[in-house]
């Protein structure tokens, strides 16, 4: 009887986190679309105020000449990160640890598949048989990941 009571208590404690994770997993694409529409975020944590503006909002300000100097770098839409699959993002993260190279050569079929997938997103271009080169958008995204 004690074991049944213990199992019941575990179920009571774990049911809400499991349901929450299940909902996040089911509605992942809708949640990501909503998050990509956020242009400003104000946080107030224990008296500390933090204001975050995403690059899309900043690029609009730069175009209108609103006091922020325009930069020569390529702007990345926030949605590009959300549209990447988890495996593509993890692959980009592993590339960021190697730094930005002039050319990339896949050493396995899995890597070739990842490069091809990123090419489909417009982050790489395939040249010759097995050589991939970063596009401007890919270079900017990789530089951003490196800075993280």
Collapse the DSSP code of 45 into the 3-class scheme (helix H, G, I; strand E, B; otherwise coil) and give the result.
Answer: strand
Collapse the DSSP code of 76 into the 3-class scheme (helix H, G, I; strand E, B; otherwise coil) and give the result.
Answer: coil
What pLDDT does residue 19 have? 92
- How far apart CA 104 and CA 111 sit, in angstroms, is 10
What pLDDT does residue 15 have? 92
Tokens found for residue 77: 């839409």
Of 100, 103, 87, nearest to 147 (Cα)? 100
Evaluate whether the domain defined by 74-147 bears CATH number 3.30.1380: no
What pLDDT does residue 98 have? 85
What pLDDT does residue 55 have? 54
What pLDDT does residue 75 have? 54
Per DSSP, helices labelled H in the chain are: 2-26, 28-36, 55-64, 78-83, 86-96, 109-120, 136-147
CA angle centred on 48, ends 42 and 76, rounded to 5°: 40
**CA separation, residue 140 to residues 15, 87, 94, 113, 114 (Å):** 42, 19, 16, 21, 18
Collapse the DSSP code of 49 into the 3-class scheme (helix H, G, I; strand E, B; otherwise coil) and give the result.
Answer: strand
Q: What is the DSSP letter of 104?
A: B
The residue behind tokens 């900043």 is: 58
**pLDDT (tens digit, 0 to 9) for every residue of the chain, 148 residues total?**
799 999 999 999 999 999 999 999 899 888 888 877 777 777 777 767 777 666 544 444 444 444 443 344 445 566 677 778 888 888 888 888 888 888 888 888 888 888 988 988 888 999 877 889 999 888 888 888 887 6
- The domain segmentation of the chain, as residue ranges, is 39-72, 74-147
């Amino acid at each position: 009887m004690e074991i049944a009571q213990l199992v019941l208590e575990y179920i009571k404690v774990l049911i809400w986190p499991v349901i929450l994770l299940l909902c996040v997993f089911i509605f992942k694409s809708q949640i990501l679309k909503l998050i990509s529409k956020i242009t400003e975020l104000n946080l107030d944590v224990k008296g500390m105020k933090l204001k975050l503006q995403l690059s899309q909002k900043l690029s609009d300000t730069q175009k209108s000449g609103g006091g922020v100097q325009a930069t020569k770098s390529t702007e990345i839409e926030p949605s590009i990160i959300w549209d990447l699959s988890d495996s593509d993002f993890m692959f980009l993260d592993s590339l960021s640890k190697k730094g930005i190279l002039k050319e990339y050569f896949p050493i396995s079929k899995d890597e070739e598949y990842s490069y091809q997938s990123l090419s489909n997103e417009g982050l790489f271009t395939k040249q010759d048989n097995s050589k991939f080169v970063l596009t401007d958008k890919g270079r900017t995204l990789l530089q951003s990941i490196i800075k993280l």
